[in-house]
Chains A and B, each alone.
Chain A
Amino acid sequence: MESKVLEMLIPMTLEGLKTTLSVFAITIMASLPLSVAVAKIRMSKNKLISTLIGIYIYIMRGTPLLLQLMFIFFGFYYVPYIGYAFSRNQAIFIAFILNYTAYFAEIFRGGINSIDFGQYEASQVLGLSKSHTFMKIILPQVIKNVLPSIGNEVITLVKDTSLVYILGASDILKAAKSVSNAYSAFSPYIFIGLVYLAITAVLTKVLNKIEDKYNYYR
């Protein structure tokens, strides 16, 4: 790679990393806890509430994230009564959090369902409250069970952050594109591919560490 290409690419990549990593981190931090709550509500005995949550999950999983980003940024303003013009960053975070919460919620729902009912009964007989049972007895076991699936989604999220280009946000892929256009070179794309690989390599390590941490029992 020519040095002038690198000279332009490196600062732009660093700038783009801010967007890529903040979309990633904020989505994870918001959607993981939210999704546990959504999974619980989805499993609620109240048919109306669980159906509404089911529809939300269906829409989020049944349409492209790209379309969701566009809808929230460009389309939501025109929705009668509740229409509102979100800023670009707001639209990005809302779309990503809504989308990933739906995916994570389905994973958690499966995880919660997989816990033996005897665990609830033992807790009940021992006088533990429902919330204590969920937080201290059920959830730790659920987390262990769902970690591999959550890990998959987390890796997918890294790559999905590149979709923010549709709203004109400057992430690392946009940096590569700008430099590529400026110098008619393809090498910036290869460079950015390596950056994605580096991020996912670190995440894979972290995820394995967490899985190891939960491997203290069987």
Chain B
Amino acid sequence: MILEVKNLSKSFGNTVVFEDISFSVNKGEIVCVKGKSGEGKTTMLRCINKLETPDKGSIKINERYLCREEDNKMHYASKDELQTITQDIGLVFQSFNLFPHMTVMENLIESPMFIRKMPKEKIKQRAYELIKQLELEGKEDNYPYQLSGGQKQRVAIARACMLNPSILCFDEPTSALDESTRNQITKIIRDLAKQGIAIIIVTHDNNFVDEIAETVITLSEGNIIISKSNQP
């Protein structure tokens, strides 16, 4: 098990976003999180990516706790632990959030250069591997504004993969794509899962869910329903 979420709750003020949800994700599994907008899908994803702090419950990533509840008290990961957990989980934002003042290559190497004391050449080598895998060859010196929506998304995926995460999260990955880029992203996500990366996708695109999900988590009125799909 790569990700284990137990009894997780989150509210904003008096508004309960979700309550007491539990699920787990295995290596290489593709999980889709469905639900109407406002049901807390994105908030849940943000909790796993430490952009929001849960009120209750635990999140365990690769045997390390991002947060856990003990004797009714929440314990959150220390700064050092966070740094390690960060490298284990990646997030592709809905609006990609690429750094506009940096080239594709600079976007990719910024984080590994900061986190890892590895030679720049090694990091660049990894970047070129991902550029090739994501069909971005020739774009390494381009700036984000020079790229199409699909290309930007692939850069965002490559950037999230630079630290070799075991989990990769996507927030509404198909929202800005046309039919052909959509097929391309489906293939890319499957390939990543084949490499053993666990994939969590938040989406309200039911066709996409039918196409790609192995496990479907439906958030409804703060509770969840888990169902296995017939995908291989």
Contacts and interface: CB of A to CB of B under 8 A. Distances in A.
Interface of A: 116, 118-119, 121-122, 124-129, 132, 136-137, 140-141, 144, 216-218
Contact of A126 (B95, B100, B110, B143): B110
A214 B118 CA distance: 30
A116 B110 CA distance: 19
A217 to B, nearest CB: 4
B115 A122 contact: no
B51 A126 contact: no
Contact of B111 (A119, A128, A144, A216): A128
Contact of A121 (B87, B97, B110): B97
B44 interface: no
A132 B99 CA distance: 13
Contacts of B99: 119, 122, 137
A125 B49 contact: yes
Chain B interface size band reads 20 to 34
A9 B109 CA distance: 58
* Most chain A C-beta atoms within 10 Å of own C-beta, residue among B93, B114, B144, B160: B114
B90 A125 contact: yes
Contact of A217 (B93, B111, B143): B143
B67 interface: no
Nearest to A137: B99
6 contacts: A116-B97, A121-B93, A126-B110, A128-B114, A137-B99, A216-B143
Contacts of B182: none
Given A118-B93, A132-B114, A218-B145, A125 B100 contact: no
